[in-house]
Amino acid sequence: MSDGTLPKSIDIGRLDAGGARFVGAVPLTTMHRLRELVITSAGEVNAAVEVDFKEAMQVIVTGVATTRVHRECQRCLEPKAILLRAPFRLFVVGSFAEAEALGQDADPLIAPGGVIDLLTALEDELLLALPSVTRHGQDEVCEQHRMHTRASGAVEGALHQQSPFGVLEQLKKRGD
């Protein structure tokens, strides 16, 4: 088994029978699809990946990818930090047809020509780990309440200024 940094892709044919293990980090900016769904491009994705050869030449890729991203809270529109942790266990196949043959119990990783596009695979897993709803939790500061108070205050002020009754009142006061 060989250890190494996180490669962009893994050519299975070049690995020895003992498999391989990779541990490393890549900048978040290299994952464009994920980058588009989060607020800042700062930070990096950490991953540990192990490639194992099972019987019948079945290749299994296990590991975990983690990163910290920021998304807009749907209540207050302020950034909320989200820790993404995506553990995975993928069966390497050569085509979509082979992937379908695996059945629903196994997650396929399609590697045409025996080459795993590792960064794309890690990004896929992180995208699946993204929560569908982003909201500050109860233990976090959510600006919603303050925003609401501020907004209604502003609305009341504007209504008061534009209200003809407000103008009338002011005229009356002046006449006193």
Q: Which two tokens stand for residue 144?
A: 């919603």
Min dist CB 140 to Zn ion, Å, is 7
Q: Which 3 state secondary structure label does DSSP give 18? A: coil
Min dist CB 74 to Zn ion, Å, is 8
Find the radius of gyration of the CA atoms of the chain: 27
Q: Which two tokens stand for residue 176?
A: 């006193």
Min dist CB 76 to Zn ion, Å, is 3
Write the burial class of residue 117 (CB in 10 Å: 0-12 exposed, 13-18 middle, 19+ buried). middle
Distances (CA, A) of 132 to 37, 50, 71: 11, 28, 11
Min dist CB 34 to Zn ion, Å, is 21
For binding to Zn ion (CB under 5 A), which residues are involved? 73, 75-76, 136, 142
Q: Answer yes or no: are the C-beta atoms of 62 and 106 closer than 8 Å.
A: no
Min dist CB 127 to Zn ion, Å, is 23
Distances (CA, A) of 89 to 80, 86, 109, 140, 169: 29, 10, 9, 33, 72
